[in-house]
Amino acid sequence: MTPMVDVVFQLMTFMLFSVQMSGGEKVDIPPARHGVGVEETDATFLTLLKPEPPAVEARLLLGHGEGPTASLDQARAAIADGVKQGRRKVILQADGEVPHGEVIRIAGAVAEVEGITVHVGVQEPTGTP
């Protein structure tokens, strides 16, 4: 019995040292198929368009794909006005070529306005899976 226990412990030790622990790998997240939409009348829209050279930051528009170009301070002011009118949701839409880090930066900046929830706008799927 003792030799069998020794062999099991040796196998466990071998497995412990031979397995490589890795973390932070990229995960391919499938597109959402179900979800609850946000009513457009209850939301303030912000749109990020890809940067045009020589600019490096995405262009921020106030509105649903159209509207004036705005700074972060102007976007926060528009969101605060929306909160006063009862629109407590912000839908952040971004062009596919806008870097993810830029979307996160803008979302974090506008989330400083109290009383809102930030939603990321997605495009409806065109085909069936």
Full set of structural domains in the chain with CATH? 40-120 (3.30.420.270)
Q: What share of the chain has pLDDT > 90, as a percent?
A: 9
The pLDDT of residue 32 is: 58
| pLDDT, mean of residues 27-47 | 71
Q: Pick 105 or 24 by higher pLDDT.
A: 105
The pLDDT of residue 7 is: 92
Residue 74 backbone phi and psi in degrees, to 5: -65, -35
The pLDDT of residue 129 is: 46
| Sign of the dihedral defined by the CA atoms of residues 104, 106, 63, 60, in that order | negative
121 pLDDT exceeds 70?
yes
> CB neighbours (10 Å) of residue 89?
18
Distance CA 110, CA 94 (A): 14
pLDDT mean across residues, the chain: 80
Q: How confident is the model at residue 128 (pLDDT cuts 50, 70, 90)?
A: very low
Lowest mean pLDDT among 31-40, 46-55, 110-119: 31-40
| pLDDT, mean of residues 32-38 | 66
Most distant CA pair in the chain, distance:
79
- Measured at the CA of 31, the angle between CA 46 and CA 57, to 5 degrees, comes to 35
pTM score: 0.64
| Nearest one of 67, 53, 58 to 109, comparing CA atoms | 58
Q: How confident is the model at residue 37 (pLDDT cuts 50, 70, 90)?
A: confident
